[in-house]
Amino acid sequence: MIQHDIIPSRIKQARVSRGYSMADLGNLVGVSRQAISKYEIGTYTPTEAVLSRIASVLRYEISFFRKPLPSDAASPSTVFFRSRRSTTKKSKEAAKEKIAIFQEIDKYLRQFVSFPKVNLPTIDYHFTYEQLNIQQIEEFAIAVRNNWGLGNAPIVNLTNVFQKNGIMISVMNLNNKKIDAFSVWKDAIPYIFLSSEKYSDVRLRFTLAHELGHLLLHANYINEEEIQTKVIFDKIEKEADLFAAALLPATTFSNDIYSTSIDHFINLKKKWKASIGSMIYRCQDLDLLTENQIKYLKDQMSYNHYWKSEPLDNIIPLEHPFAHKQAFDLILDNHIVTETDVVEEIGCEASEIEEYSFLEKGRLTPSSIPDNIIHLF
């Protein structure tokens, strides 16, 4: 039977999100590359049997391919990838489709719950090809802290602060070791996506701050084509790194630098929840230590093999996003929807929705219903 309600572009979206070419998918499904191409542009419509095989291979529910595309969504801003320059276009396109799917999950939840409003300061930044100086970036970081009422003390949980100020975060397995994170504005909502594969808590926090730097400083000024040029890529990555580092306030952090022993910096890591390496570079940027002292610390890092794995990396608890988890708990525990409803309407497999929204494994199976109700914020 020919199914006329299939949305052709959903087939492409599902394929690209898995990193498959049309030929790859055709081989796995048992049809030609040309057939897949025609399915995706709507020239031909796959039979129910072929659609079932496509859904199975791509690991999506059948309902995903019949789900209308959002009609009222504005085009997203430039996507900023924290990745190596050698990252392939295919990998980035797969990541972008994951962004779109997470945003649809977010939109689904917003039918039932109200998330915190976006609360970010307006940054007076005008893009130029010249590197921003450290003083300008310090002022931007101070503006963020002041806007959020953080003062100059260490931030206990940066993930919570971001989400309480309207930034949506997802931690997912990107199946790509070259991509650490990416961020984008969509429908006036800032989104940050983190790889689940290589994070310690201090690295996660630095990456969050790095992505916030992109969202505040670069999103309205740089397009997809410009970001591919080495000069601009290097400039904005350096600026985002300096912004992330500046969340260690110069006034209070500098008061803690009174020793050049690695043990002292390990203790500072407990307090500031920042990597030893990033604190050494922060000392260098702020001229808190001499060149010889910085060299000594870097030599100690190399001698102890700390550049790849630092003390406390496996001890400091990892921060987790909670906004979507609380929303799902609320609507499921109050029987507003069922687990089956969620999977059917979103169109992803239960395990994938759980990953996108940091739910417990098995949370979206009908038999898994927690007793307690968790209220948003």
* Two tokens, residue 180: 């650490």
pLDDT of residue 105: 96
- Model confidence pLDDT, tens digit, residues 71-85: 765 566 788 887 666
Residue 86 has pLDDT above 80, yes or no: no
Mean pLDDT of 205-212: 95
**Short-list 211, 212, 230, CA closest to 129:** 230
**271 vs 20, 82, 208, 239, 257, CA distance in Å?**
45, 26, 18, 25, 12
- Model confidence pLDDT, tens digit, residues 329-341: 999 999 999 999 9
Mean pLDDT of 44-72: 93
**Short-list 240, 281, 92, CA closest to 232:** 240
- Model confidence pLDDT, tens digit, residues 167-203: 999 988 777 777 888 999 998 999 999 987 767 899 9
**CA separation for the pair 24, 89 (Å, rounded):** 16
pLDDT of residue 377: 45
- Model confidence pLDDT, tens digit, residues 256-302: 999 999 999 999 999 999 999 999 999 999 999 999 999 999 999 99
**CA separation for the pair 60, 52 (Å, rounded):** 10
- Model confidence pLDDT, tens digit, residues 1-50: 344 489 999 999 999 999 999 999 999 999 999 999 999 999 999 999 99
Residue 99 has pLDDT above 60, yes or no: yes
Comparing 313 with 4, which gets the higher pLDDT?
313
Label residue 136 exposed, middle or buried (CB < 10 Å: 0-12, 13-18, 19+).
Answer: middle
Query: Sorting pLDDT into bands at 50, 70 and 90, what band is 375?
Result: very low
